Amino acid sequence: MAPKPNSKPPSIGVQATAVATGSFLTGAMVCLTGVVVPVFLDTDVEAIHLLRHWVRLYHYGHIYMPALCIGTVGLYGYSALKRRASESQQEAAYAVAAATTIAMVPFTWIFMAPTNNILFGWEEMATAGTSVAELSAVQDVVVKWAWLHLARSVFPLIGAILGFTEILQERRL
């Protein structure tokens, strides 16, 4: 459907915000894997220190990242509903972007929870004064967590790519 010669392109503020927040979410998550975890691995010389750092990283990530994910999904969902109400036949891309972004949640529950539980358990044992795994074992599990976290980062990235592609389609660029 070609735009009318003097018609104004559709507003893309909400969609662009969804793409920006999804991109920011991906970037923040990749930064944790690519920068923060390597700093921990290079500088922590005791298992308890690495565990405590990882627990704090998880704590702050758990405060910000789920809220950013839900906000992004909400913006994509609003965009999909707005398109559906206008009968423009373009809601599917934003709905898929929302579904792809939120898919990081079940990925976390299914694939990451066991690794998280190991690290939390070791940290609790160390805090209680019980001997925990050697530093190399803790490092191995933190590296596994980092790879899983990097894989999880792909979900909002794919959502952002889908959303951005749809914005370009709407603008006919």
Distance separating alpha carbons of residues 55 and 49, to the nearest angstrom: 10
* pLDDT of the residue at 87: 60
Higher model confidence: residue 33 or residue 6?
A: 33
**Which band of pLDDT confidence, cut at 50, 70 and 90, is reported for residue 84?**
confident
Distance CA 49, CA 42 (A): 12
- Per the prediction, the chain carries an average pLDDT of 91
From 164, 122, 14, 117, select the one nearest 74 (Cα to Cα).
14
Closest CA to 32 of 57, 64, 49: 57
Q: Give me the pLDDT at residue 7, please.
A: 58
Using the structure block, give the residue that is written with the tokens 């969804």: 18
Dihedral (Cα; 111, 112, 114, 116), 10-degree rounding: 180
Residue 38's CB is within 10 A of a number of other CB atoms, namely 12
User: Two tokens at 38?
Assistant: 């390597």
Q: For the full predicted model, state whether its pTM sits above 0.85.
A: yes
Residue 142 has pLDDT above 90, yes or no: yes
pLDDT class of 83 with cuts at 50, 70, 90: confident
Average pLDDT over residues 35-57: 97
Q: What is the mean pLDDT of residues 124-149?
A: 94
